[in-house]
Each structure stands twice: as structure tokens, then as C-alpha cells.
Amino acid sequence: MNISTLISIDGGKGLRSGFFILILFLSLIGVSDLKGQDRGILRGFVADSVSGEVLPYANVFINELNKGVNTDFRGYFIMAALPINRRLSITISYVGYKSMRQTIRIDPGENEVTEIRAELAPLGIQMRTIEKIESKYAKENATDLSLQKLAMRDLETLPKSVELDIFRSLQSLPGVQSGGDVSARYYVRGSTSNENLVLLDNTPIYNPFHALGIFSAIDPDMISSIEFYKGGFPAEYSNRLSSILKVVSIDGNKNSFGGKASLSSLTAKMMLEGPIPDGSFIISGRKNYSNFVLKKFRNDNSLPADFYDLFMKVNYSNNDAVQNAKFTVSSFISSDQIVNGNPLLDDFKWSNKTFDVNYFQLSDAPLFYQVDVSYSNFHGEQNPNDSGSRSINNDVYDLTMKMDFNYVYDDKNELAGGFKFMQVDTKLLLGNFRGEQNDIGSHGVNISTYIKYKILSMSNFGADFGTRLNATRLAAGGPAYSFEPRASFTYRFIPELAVKGTWGIYMQDLVTVSDENEAVTVFEPWLITPSYLQPSSSIHYIAGFEYNPSQILSMTLEGYYKISHNLAVVNENKYLESDPDLIPGSGEAYGMEFQAKYNRLPVNITASYSLMWAFKTVNGITYAPRYDSRHNVNLALEYDFGDGWSASAFWTYSSGVPFTQIAGYYDKLRIDDITGGNYILTAYLPYLLLGQMNLGRLPDYHRLDLGMMKKLQVGSLKLYFDLSLLNVYNRHNLFYFKRDTGQRVDMLPFLPSASLKVEL
């Protein structure tokens, strides 16, 4: 019995199961709502004192109780089960900022919440970031297996390419497989790239890449924080099987007008920010101006790519109008085009457009909720000209409305839930060699809800139980009432050592049409899974250890197993009009990941190793997909010299990935002119025959990058200068062999690059 059979049930059973889950959660609520008479709740907000920008994942620590928490991506924190009528000393810290210490007293009133607002002063740009507080107490019972939280300060220390790129930085994490030097696409734990959900301020970005996928379309300068789930993500996330990347943008300076401008060997960009009445704004734009770097990424072949991206955001918060509320409106636009000017080559265009409105509310009780309405559009087209390939025209229109809430009880346990309405329309026009086009697009609505309960009341144990209920699927006529249950736990034997585990079922009803034999994927057309196929589904089993022997050293070890069913795959054997365009396949992936971090200024060292197996089965044939790399090693070193100087080194290694070998050629008769002469004897062209899917493997890949950064402050101006040396020892990493000529195509050669950023 496959996963879809297990989780798809009829309406009657769905109602009975839903009623049982509702009773279970109400019971949990009743148990947790027994209020103690000597306990209170502290809620707060941490921000930059100069700009008013939130400080995500700041440390909040109560000295007398030897306990603490981290702020979330909004800069908020909640601490429950605190003693009342007692003076408590609280320390708030953030890397690169001066710590704040103050004395508080928890209000004893019924249903009262004590609130504080902390604004931390940034340290001078030439000072070493020595202000840091032990934060392991915030992780006592956190159910955060396979979750990476990165603030902007963390992004700046990650490996850079030509310029800082979030997708290429993610590829340095264990379990994340690179698409090669020529692609920023990433593959997580043996799954395809279309199983990764990218959210920008709650809005999905369907093709977040520039220049044939070489770079990310999201500019790092507009990012406040990132949350990246490599698997086992909780019930609030849906419609992807593999990973979640949640990108949170900055709000903009609330106190004064300012701006940033930067220039690299690839792009020029500018950002403006400043206050508005009761709020702030930000406008960020980026445009490429040179193809020199792109040519290097393409083995010295010309790439006439032209791209830009633009982001705008406005925030509003007025306690006189609505107490403890925040309104946000944001929009993102990206555009790419490749016009070769050669009728024998294909031209490409693609773009993203998003619009998001968010309302966030803190209530008098320890409750917050938000309402979000977002719109996302992707458009991509391939114009074959006279190349002989087929035309592609793809549109995705996504309108999503959702509401989420979170309630914290006196005993620290939490209840969360939400509702989501998602309407998607897809258009996919595929042309044949006669110029005719066939539209296989469709439209549909997904209505879903989720609820979860987090047990955080015990100091050495934490758990997260939840489920999603899909009332409908995007494809019309599909089964209703499908459940996606999920659970995770953390048990801490001693303060330094914890064991963690997670399990969950996940479904995805949007897929992409791609050819695994293509060396470079420009864009992957999206469409709703046809109603004759079940939605793709996957089960995750993940377990691991976290060991923190000291403040300067931490280690994690994780093992995982994933099995997937009903993966929508292009039907390569379609001959008749009645044959389906897509057929179901299955997948399996398993492996282990190890990461160690040593951070004692001025040295920061990160080392990781991952071992992975991935398999895919289509039409009874099992093979290793192109992202199946057995061994991966990443070593990163950063050294802070002081006075604004720092240097970094990054070395990466991965074993060879699979590819389909050439089995041979045969002479194919091609008659262009039947009135010609001896065409029966001369009108033959070689026709390629491919061997078994991905039976061969490319040579191993490795590369060393070096970097140097200088930070300088001149009056009110801050200057940042970066120098990067990519592929220092000029390793000739094989990309592919051209099938028509046999020419070897290598990846990125040795490439120096520099960038300058000016901030006011």
C-alpha cells in the first residue's frame, strides 16, 4: 500500500478522523490552561537602536533562572512560567551589538503579560564582535531538527561567489547538493529542485534564478533573516516534499533616511530606506551591466543575458490606531531575457511578479496572529527561432489567503493553527516541430487547515505534534480529506547533549516538466498534477544528535530516510494522442550528515561531511538521478584581523554525479529535396543513441575559494570592499561533453572578482 492510499480517505472517514483530532487537541488545551498562581509571562521586542530594524535570533537570558530564549524572525520573544513579584536580571545580546542588562519584575495580574522593548547599540565597524552570550539554554527543548536559522550577520560569513548569493551559500550546508558552478539550483537530500519551496515574505517564488540559473534573483542586501528546513518541516508549511526556504526582508530604517550602493564585476545595485509617518519603507534594485563573468561561467561561450530585480516594502504601525499591530505591503519583480541574435539558437524570457499584504497582531493575552494575502505570477517562454527545437510558453498565477495564530500557555506549551486558501492557474503551451501548440495547463483550488501543539514545559524534553487537513486538491476531481500528520521531539540527556527525531507525511500538487538529460536547465515549466495522477507524496524519517561541549564548539549528526510516491515524470514513451503526458514514478533517498563549528574570535571554522544515496524508479527501471553525489565535504575558515580586516577560505569536494553515456550513432536518412540526385546514397546524418539512464559518473569535483574583506568608516559613510579568488588552483572540473562534437566543457576556471559597497 502506498502513501497516497494511507493518507487519502473518503469524506466520512475524514470527518471522523478530524473530530478525533479536534477532541485530542481540546484535551491538550484543557490540561495546559490550568494557570499557576505564582507564574507570569514576559514578552518583548529587540531592535537596532540606530535604524529600528528588528534583530532576529537575538539572545534573551535571565541570570537568576539560568534560562533564556531567542527572538524569532520578527524580533519578538515570549518567556512563560516565570516567578512573579521577584526582581529578575535580564541580559539581551546580539553579535556585533553592545549587550543590554536591565532589571524586571513580572506582573502578577491574571492574564497579564509584562512587556519590554530593547534597542541595542551597534558596535563600531572596526571593533571585533566580541559581545555574545551563551545561548544553549534557548535550545533546551527546541524541536528544530534539520532547521538552519541565519540572520544577515551569518550570511556575510558564508562563502561568496562573484558576490554574496543566498542559494550558493546554502550549497555549503551538509545535505544540500550543488547543481555545479554554472547553476545556483540546489537539491536537498536526494530530491529534485522543484520540491524546494522558496518563500519571500510568505509569497512563493516559482523561478528565483537569474541568467540560466547561475545566480539567485533575491538580492541579499534586502534580507533580514533566513529559515531553511532541510526536511521534517512542521505543519504550517505545505505543498512541497523536500525543503522550505523562508526569506524575511528587512523593514527599512525607522529613524532616518539612508541608502546603499554597490558595484561588483557582474551587477550594480542600490537600496533606499527611511521613515514614513508611523512606519518605514525600503526600495532595492539590481541590474547586470556586464557579461564578462557570465562568459567565464559558460566556458568562455557568450551568454547575452540581461536581468534585473526590484523589491519594495512599506511598514505601518500605530498604537493609537490599532494597539500592537503591524501592517506590511511588499512587492517583488524580477526579469530575465537571453536574446542570442542568431536564428539558429533559442531565445528565452522569464519573469516573477509578487504582491503581498500582511497584518500581524499581538493581543493582550500571550497570543499573536496574522492574516496574509499574496499573489505570485511566473511567466517563462522559449522561442526556438529556426533552431528546430520546440516552443514553450508557461504561466503560473497563484493567489493565496491564509490566517495563522499562536498561543503560549503559562506552562510554556504552545498551540498554533491556521487556515489556507490557495487558487492556482497554470498555462503551458508546448509547440511541436510543425509549429502547432498544445495547452496542457489547468486551474484548481486547495483549501487546507492545520493545527499543532508544542510541549515545551519540561526542561529536558520537547515535542511538536500536528497535522494538515486538505479539504480539496488543486486538480479537479481529486480525492478530498487527505491528512499530512507530522511529529518531532527533542530529549536532552545533559545540557550539552540532545537526541532529536522527526517524522512526517508531505504532499505536493504542483510539478515541473524537465528533461534529466539536459546539462543546463533554463527554466522548468510548472503545471498542476493532472487529475489522472495522485498528488506526489513523501514520508520523512529523521533522527540525530546535537552536542555542545562548550560555548565555542558545537557538533550535529543527522541521519534520514525519505521515500516518495506518485512523482510526476514526463512520459518519454508517448506516441499516441491518448497517451498521458505524465506518468507516476517513485523515489528513495537516505544518508547521514555531520557538521562541526568552532567559533573563538578571531577564528571561525566550519566543517561538514555528508553521505547520500538517491534512487528514482520510472516504468520499472531504477536509476540514480543526476543530483546523487555520494560524498560531500565542505571546509570553511574565517579569520578576523581586527581594524575592519577579515579573510576567508572555502574548500569543497563532491564525488562525481551520474550522467547518461552515449551508446553510439546510426545513419538516419533525411530527404530535404526529393528532386535531387542520389539522395538515397548521400542524404544521411548521424543520429545519437543514448545508453541506460545515468549509468556513468563524472569525475570528482573540488575547488578552493579565497576572500578578503575590508570594512571602513569615513564620517557617516561605511565602505565595504570584497576581493574574491574563485577556483584558486584552477581545477578543471568537467561539466559535460558536447554530444554532437565530443568537445569537453568545463566549469568555472580561476576567476578573480571584486565588489565595493557604500552605505550611508
**25 inside domain:** no
- Assess whether 235 and 260 both reside in one domain: no
CA distance 22 to 471: 15
Of 102, 120, 139, the position where a domain reaches its end is: 139
Going by C-alpha positions, the residue among 453, 452, 504, 448 that lies closest to residue 481 is 448
Answer yes or no: do 241 and 254 share one domain. no
1 lies in a domain? no
C-alpha cell read off for 625: 538521478
Q: What is the pLDDT of residues 275-296, one digit of tens each?
A: 999 999 999 999 998 777 777 7
Nearest to 362 by CA among 74, 68, 149: 74
Identify the DSSP state of 136: G
Give CA–CA dist 605/601, Å, rounded: 10
pLDDT-derived band at 9, boundaries 50, 70, 90: very low
pLDDT (0 to 100) of residue 665: 65
Q: Which region among 77-86, 132-141, 285-294, 722-731 has the lowest average model confidence (pLDDT)?
A: 132-141
292 C-beta neighbours (distance < 10 Å), count: 10
**What's the pLDDT tens digit per position in 506-558?**
999 998 877 666 656 677 889 998 888 889 999 999 999 999 998 889 999 99
397 and 359 Cβ atoms separated by less than 8 Å: no
d(C-alpha 438, C-alpha 418), whole Å: 39
Q: Is residue 274 domain-shared with residue 202, that is, in the same domain?
A: no
Is 179 part of any domain?
A: yes
397 in a structural domain: yes
| Same domain assignment for residues 221 and 331 | no
- The reply to whether 233 and 363 lie within a common domain is no
Segment 124-179, tens digit of pLDDT: 654 444 333 444 445 556 778 888 888 777 666 665 677 888 888 888 889 998 87
pTM: 0.89
Tally of structural domains, the chain: 3
Residues 90 and 221 in one domain: no
Q: Are residues 402 and 429 in the same domain?
A: yes
Instruction: Find the range with the poorest average confidence among 52-56, 193-197, 254-258, 568-572.
Output: 568-572
The answer to whether residue 277 is domain-embedded is yes
* 153 shares a domain with 99: no
DSSP string for 536-582: EEEEEEEEEEEEEEETTEEEEEEEEEEEEEEEEEE-TT--STTS-SE
> Is residue 754 in some structural domain?
yes
Rounded to the nearest 5°, which phi and psi values hold at 257?
-80, 145
Q: In angstroms, rounded to a whole number, what is the distance separating the alpha carbons of residues 259 and 271?
A: 5
Domain membership of residue 3 (yes or no) is: no
Q: 166 with 298, same domain?
A: no
Same domain assignment for residues 344 and 443: yes
C-alpha pair distances (Å), 626 with each of 187, 191, 258, 613: 10, 10, 46, 11
Write out pLDDT tens, residues 415-472. 999 999 999 999 988 765 455 567 777 888 999 999 999 998 888 899 999 999 998 8
Q: Report the distance separating Cα 169 and Cα 157, nearest Å.
A: 9
Per residue in 705-717, pLDDT (tens digit) is: 998 988 888 877 8
User: Does residue 186 sit in the same domain as residue 48?
Assistant: no
Last residue of a domain, one of 245, 264, 284: 245
Domain boundary among 245, 278, 294: 245
CB-based burial label for 573 (10 Å; 0-12, 13-18, 19+) = exposed
Please report, for the domain that includes residue 233, its CATH number.
2.170.130.10
Which residues span the domain enclosing 185? Answer: 147-245
- The full length of the chain comes to 760
Q: Is residue 331 part of a domain?
A: yes
- Which ranges of 608-739 would DSSP assign to H, the alpha helix? 679-682
Q: Which helix (H) or strand (E) holds 710?
A: strand 701-714
Question: Minimal CA–CA distance to 42: which of 525, 408, 542?
Answer: 408
**722 sits in which H/E element:** strand 717-726
- The DSSP line for 477-525 is TPPP-EEEEEEEEEEEEETTEEEEEEEEEEEE-EEE---TT-SS-S---
Q: What is the CATH number of the domain that holds 534?
A: 2.40.170.20
Residue 675: pLDDT band (50, 70, 90) is low
Query: Are 124 and 157 in the same domain?
Result: no
Going by C-beta distance under 8 Å and a sequence separation of 6 or more, which residues neighbour residue 672? 683
Collapsed DSSP state (helix, strand, coil) of residue 331:
strand
